[in-house]
């Protein structure tokens, strides 16, 4: 694995990001209900989408949201989505992406980064807990709300 870096989306990286494949069973956990509903209202000015590159290859995608005025605290500084290619999982790419998003949140004056996930056997809970998130609550749909103190 080479040097990881983030880039803003471009015509070529969007295609590659859309082509990322996950491990079997992970697809069910990509978009929690709370995010799917809130996605209709996300402001493109507060969205922070980036691809993770290893050399010239897109190996991951992360989308954050920074909206200090959001009525729901869990959406003010949050991980909206993080995907890592199936064959690149377990190599630190997701952790790199989360920490880059945390750095961006910190630079904007936030003291906490949140994430919502659906519990389940093939879900992302173990990953989020390993990178430092702690469960702080539950949504009305039974999803876990995690927070990473910055």
The span from the CA of 20 to the CA of 15, in Å, is 9
Task: Please give the pLDDT value at position 28.
Answer: 59
pLDDT at 27: 64
Domain that holds residue 57: 4-149
Q: 33 exposed, middle or buried (CB, 10 Å; 0-12, 13-18, 19+)?
A: middle
78: nearest Cα among 108, 120, 40: 108
Write the CATH number for 93.
3.40.630.30
- Residue 48 exposure: Cα atoms within 13 Å on the Cβ side: 21
Q: What is the percentage of the chain residues whose pLDDT exceeds 90?
A: 64
The number of C-alpha atoms within 13 Å of 103 and in the hemisphere containing its C-beta is 7
Summarised one tens digit per residue, pLDDT across range 12-28 is: 887 787 777 777 776 65
Dihedral Cα 144, 141, 113, 129, nearest 10 deg: 20
What confidence tens digit (pLDDT) does each residue in 110-149 have? Answer: 999 999 999 988 889 999 999 999 999 999 999 999 999 9
Overall domain count for the chain = 1
pTM of structure: 0.85
**Mean model confidence pLDDT for the chain:** 88
């Amino acid at each position: 694995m080479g040097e990881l870096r983030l880039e803003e989306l471009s015509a070529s990286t969007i295609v590659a990001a859309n082509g990322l494949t996950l491990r079997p069973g992970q697809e069910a956990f990509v978009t929690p209900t709370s995010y799917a509903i809130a996605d209709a209202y996300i402001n493109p000015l507060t969205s922070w989408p980036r691809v993770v590159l290893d050399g010239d290859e897109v190996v991951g995608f992360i989308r954050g949201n920074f909206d200090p005025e959001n009525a729901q605290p869990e959406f003010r500084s949050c991980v909206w989505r993080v995907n890592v290619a199936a064959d690149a999982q377990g190599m630190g790419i997701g952790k790199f992406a989360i920490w880059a998003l945390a750095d961006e949140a910190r630079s904007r004056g936030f003291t906490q980064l949140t994430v919502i996930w659906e519990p389940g056997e093939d879900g992302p809970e173990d990953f989020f807990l390993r990178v430092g998130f702690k469960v702080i609550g539950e949504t009305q749909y039974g999803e876990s709300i995690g927070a990473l103190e910055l």
